[in-house]
């Protein structure tokens, strides 16, 4: 069975079951929400291990809360709660695993912190769980449930990111409609590809996508016409500075593919700078230029 991480359930130093993280996913919500499928197994056992003829102890899980963190006992990401339809989880003699769903509410800032530390690799997370177990109506001490290290496959995490990012907007908003959207659509597609490349840790490829985005703008508005429109909407000096900025960002993006020697790898923060600069350029040009006249 696939497991992203697991731990034994201990009561008074005796193992009475196992908990494991079966999968993580994006739980549909109006904000980023990380879902975790948890496999929970409780075993019936004699009160005295030396007396197999003694009646078995029946355990029941009544409540489960936890915390998700970046390190074993620090850098907390957020609380983890048992959500969805609840059914009684009781011990069985054959160790039947029951599945339950838990969720951790996130936001763009926490996701960015995780991404900064992950740096394109598989995320390493920790899950602390505090169950409420009872036996014959009496609460049990389960403080010996160890923190669970979670190794999330990169493709699984990227799938979560792709869906979660539909729940919030980038800081920069593009205001466009109709024909304006059509003329810059290719540039937007290149920028989306650039952000997906950042998620995969392919920073040079992400930067090269920005160069392609700028080239599609030049295809729609030739260089001379672009400067002429900027002068008309601003002034000669500002238009010149804008053109220089666009050229410099394009040149910077070109370093990822057109260097005379093998290009060194861009860092994540550099790739995001080039992407955000390119997004700002396209947003600016969208507001200061007009569609070519027929």
Per-residue pLDDT in tens (0 to 9) along the chain, 294 residues:
678 999 988 887 778 889 999 999 999 988 899 999 999 998 876 555 555 555 667 888 888 999 999 998 889 999 999 998 777 788 887 778 999 999 999 998 899 899 989 988 999 999 999 988 888 777 776 666 789 999 999 999 999 998 888 755 443 444 444 555 567 788 888 999 999 999 999 999 999 999 999 998 888 888 888 889 999 999 999 999 999 999 999 988 888 776 555 567 899 999 999 999 998 888 888 888 865 554
Q: What is the dihedral of CA 202, 208, 210, 216, to 10 degrees?
A: -140
Cα separation, 225 vs 222, whole angstroms: 5
User: How many residues are there in the chain?
Assistant: 294
What is the phi/psi pair of residue 240, to 5°?
Answer: -65, -40
Q: What are the tokens at 105?
A: 């509410």
Say which CATH class 5-167 falls into.
mainly beta
What is the phi/psi pair of residue 223, to 5°?
Answer: -55, -50
Please name the fold of domain 179-288. Answer: 1.20.120
Please list the residue range(s) of the chain that carry CATH number 1.20.120. 179-288
Query: Given the DSSP bridges, would you call strands 148-151 and 124-135 parallel, antiparallel or unpaired?
Result: antiparallel
The answer to whether 59 and 42 have CB atoms below 8 angstroms apart is: yes
Question: Can you give the pTM of this predicted structure?
Answer: 0.72
Beta-carbon count within 10 A of 70 CB: 17
Please list the residue range(s) of the chain that carry CATH number 2.60.40. 5-167
Work out the burial of residue 165: count CB atoms within 10 Å of its CB; fewer than 13 is exposed, 13-18 middle, 19 or more buried.
middle
């Amino acid at each position: 069975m696939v497991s992203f991480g697991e731990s034994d359930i201990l009561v008074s130093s005796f193992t009475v079951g196992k908990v494991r993280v079966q999968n993580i996913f994006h739980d549909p919500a109006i904000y980023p929400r990380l879902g975790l499928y948890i496999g929970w197994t409780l075993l019936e056992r004699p009160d005295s291990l030396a007396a197999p003829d003694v009646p078995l102890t029946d355990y029941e899980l009544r409540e489960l809360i936890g915390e998700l963190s970046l390190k074993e006992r620090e850098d907390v990401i957020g609380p983890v709660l048992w959500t969805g339809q609840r059914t009684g989880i009781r011990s069985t003699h054959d160790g039947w695993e029951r599945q339950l769903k838990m969720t951790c509410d996130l936001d763009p800032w926490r996701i960015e912190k995780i991404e900064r530390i992950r740096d394109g690799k598989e995320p390493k997370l920790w899950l602390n769980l505090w169950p409420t177990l009872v036996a014959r109506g009496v609460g049990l001490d389960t403080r010996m449930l160890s923190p669970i290290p979670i190794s999330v496959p990169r493709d699984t995490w990227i799938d979560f990111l792709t869906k979660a990012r539909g729940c919030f907007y980038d800081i920069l908003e593009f205001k466009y409609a109709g024909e304006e959207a059509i003329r810059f659509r290719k540039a937007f597609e290149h920028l989306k590809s650039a952000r997906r490349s950042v998620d995969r840790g392919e920073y040079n490829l992400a930067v090269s996508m920005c160069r392609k985005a700028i080239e599609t703008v030049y295809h729609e508005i030739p260089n001379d016409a672009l400067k002429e429109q900027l002068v008309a909407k601003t002034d000669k000096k500002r238009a010149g500075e804008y053109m220089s900025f666009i050229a410099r960002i394009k040149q910077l993006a070109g370093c990822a593919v057109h260097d005379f020697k093998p290009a060194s790898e861009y860092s994540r923060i550099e790739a995001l700078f080039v992407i955000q600069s390119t997004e700002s350029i396209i947003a600016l040009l969208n507001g200061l230029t007009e569609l070519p006249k027929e």
